[in-house]
Structure 1
Amino acid sequence: MMNRRQFLARSALFGSAAWLTLGAPGKLLAAASQGKPLGIQLYMVLKAYQDDPLGALKTLKAIGYTEIEAIVTSTAKTLRDQLNETGLRSPSMHFDSLGFESGIDAAHTLGSQFIVSSMLPAIMQKEQAAKGKSAPEPTYSLDEAKRAAEYANRLGEKAKQAGLQYAYHNHHLEFTDVGGGQTFYDVLLKETDHKLVQFELDCGWVHAGGKNPADIFKANPGRIPLMHAKDFLPGANDKNNYPGAELGRGTLDYKPIMAAADTSGLKHCFVEQEGPFDRMSQLDAARVDFAYLRPMR
């Protein structure tokens, strides 16, 4: 199974040229009602969902999740009806290969507040190629960071006009040094309009990029309303390989991260684990991840 970064890169390749435009269940459920909402990115359980949509969503609800972050693999109306039937909600969605304009429609259908994308350099490269212009591979340079910030502001303005909030989701390459003591991600934070562009911090990819997620939350209060709780196995990045780990079984201690996130103004936390799921199924991994993170919420 490809990891999410590879999945999104493939979406960028085949998507719209204009806009890709990118314990016991009862006890767990009781615990969920006592703390803040805890969600899961639907991509994490995509195979289970595609095999049995209602069954997978009902299992997530029984585990204790109350929110999902949506990706739309059929239609937004179909997913909305499934969520209504299972008692889940979707405050955030990744528009991925829907394209941005269709993503706006899908977000309205789902009742989502946030519309999210990632890999802006790849999206911009795709658009340039579609116009017949030279489109070199993304470099995550200072100039590219400035262009990405301008592009993100345009997405944010369109989202605002549609009554939504745009947010940008990172991978590890955003923490490439661009000179002057800055990373690509630093430039995005600095040169995007705070009201138009907010951020979804994927903590696993932050760590893979050599940074501390808690430090980023502390340095940017009010900018990061969304997060992905993710981890990788020790030794990840060997030959650019990033095998996912269940939370608590990888390399990250989420206690200081969650404390910093909540102080910073976090609104929604979504579990997202990369594959391969060879130690256990996607839904069993979702259960382990919930059990680890729930006491911190």
Structure 2
Amino acid sequence: MILSLQLFSARNFTPYTKIIASLGALGYNAAEGYFGNFAEANETRAALDAAGMTMPSLHVPLEMVETDPDGVKTLAKTLGVSRVFAPWLHPDHRPTEAAGWRAIAARLVTCHALMAERGLAFGWHNHDFEITPLADGSVPMEILLTEAPMIDWEADIAWIVRGGGDPVDWITRHGARITAAHFKDLAPAGEKADESGWADAGTGTMDWPAIHAALKAHSRCEILVAEHDNPNDFARFARNARASFQAL
């Protein structure tokens, strides 16, 4: 399992080329890209190469996978990406009933085929809203995994907790689908409000030794992706996440 870092965490501390250089100096193996890196793909790849890093995974909007699969292939080739994850649904596009989630799953089936035809693995990255049960008791993430049985899952562990789930239970039941996971953490209730309640990976309330052990025992997770959705000090977060990973 290699350590990566989601560059979304650094969006307030750009340029990304400088961020990537600093990650390489800290000993990171890889970075995970997102739409903020698309316009500078060539520069991003050059920075990764110079830092001795790779970009095995990339977040790509679902609509781009659907409408421009060749563009995704070109982007992936430039960055050296082998795994594409669709990462999010705008609140206006999130179904409130199971039928709507089955329709999302059908789109994911199509996207998987489009990416497979182009030599890329494809999966979904969760937030909290896929974990929280709907009014009828069904759980969106369960629907996606059941109705789109060929897709991978990049499990965002802290969002599972924020959605009311038990991460070890989810990993135990669905680990065969997990090929990457987000390494992030939650601050104690009422703390770190200036960082939206997030903590540096491995320093908060989550039992990462148990979670890491579950990932190793029950999943196909190849990439642990450090992330902090709103750090006020990126360098601190990157250092702490690296140290926590080494301690696991």
| 1:151-166 equivalence runs, <5 A | 151-166=107-122
Report what 2:74 is aligned to: 105
Deviation for aligned residue 1:212? 1.4
Match of 1:149 in 2: 105
In structure 1, the partner of 2:127 is 171
Deviations 1:119-155 (A, max 9, x none): 24x3xx9xxxxxxxxxx65344211110111011111
Q: Distance in 2 between matches of 1:209 and 1:67?
A: 28
Asked whether 1:233 is paired with 2:192, we answer no
User: Could you tell me how far apart the structure 2 residues matched to 1:61 and 1:140 are?
Assistant: 42
- In 1, the alpha carbon distance for the partners of 2:76 and 2:38 equals 13
Secondary structure of the structure 1 residue equivalent to 2:205: coil
**Equivalent residue for 2:213, pick from 259, 281, 284:** 259
Partner of 1:4: none
153, 160, 164: which one pairs with 1:199? Answer: 153
- Distance in 1 (CA, whole Å) between partners of 2:145 and 2:62 is 25
Say whether 1:49 aligns with 2:53.
no
| Distance in 2, Cα, partners of 1:202 & 1:242 | 16
2:208 corresponds to 1:208:
no
The Cα offsets for residues 204-252 of structure 1, whole Å up to 9 and x where unpaired, read as 1000001111211111132010110111222279x9x942211233221
Pair 1:215–1:41, CA change in 2 (3 A)? same
CA gap of 1:105–1:82, structure 2 versus 1, over 3 A, is: same
Contact 1:93-1:114 at 8 Å conserved across structures: yes
> Partners of 2:188 and 2:100 in 1: how far apart?
31
Aligned ranges for residues 263-278 of structure 1 at < 5 Å? 263=217, 264-277=219-232
Determine helix, strand or coil for the equivalent of 2:203.
coil
Match of 2:32 in 1: 69
Name the larger-Rg structure.
1
Corresponding position: 1:223 with 2:193: no
Q: Is residue 27 of structure 2 the alignment partner of residue 58 of structure 1?
A: no
Mapped to 1, the partners of 2:121 and 2:62 lie a distance apart of 19
CA–CA separation in structure 2 for the residues paired with 1:221 and 1:37: 17
Aligned 8 A contact 2:2 2:29 in 1: yes
Given the two structures, how large is their TM-score scaled by the length of structure 2? Answer: 0.88
Assess if the C-alpha contact under 8 Å between 1:104 and 1:115 holds in 2: no
Q: Would the alpha carbon gap of residues 236 and 213 (structure 1) be closer, same or farther in structure 2, given more than 3 Å must change?
A: farther
Contiguous gaps of at least 5 residues in structure 2: none
Give the TM-score taking structure 1 as reference length: 0.74
Q: Which residue of 2 aligns with 1:185?
A: 141
Instruction: Tell me if structure 2 keeps the 8 A contact 1:49–1:57.
Output: no
Does the 8 A contact of 1:146 with 1:191 survive in 2? yes
Distance 1:140 1:65, change over 3 A: farther
CA contact (8 A) 1:245 1:274 kept: no
Q: Percent identity?
A: 25
Counterpart Cα distance in 2 of 1:287 and 1:137:
36
- Per the alignment, residue 246 of structure 2 pairs with 294
Secondary structure of 1:225 counterpart: strand
Match of 1:249 in 2: 203
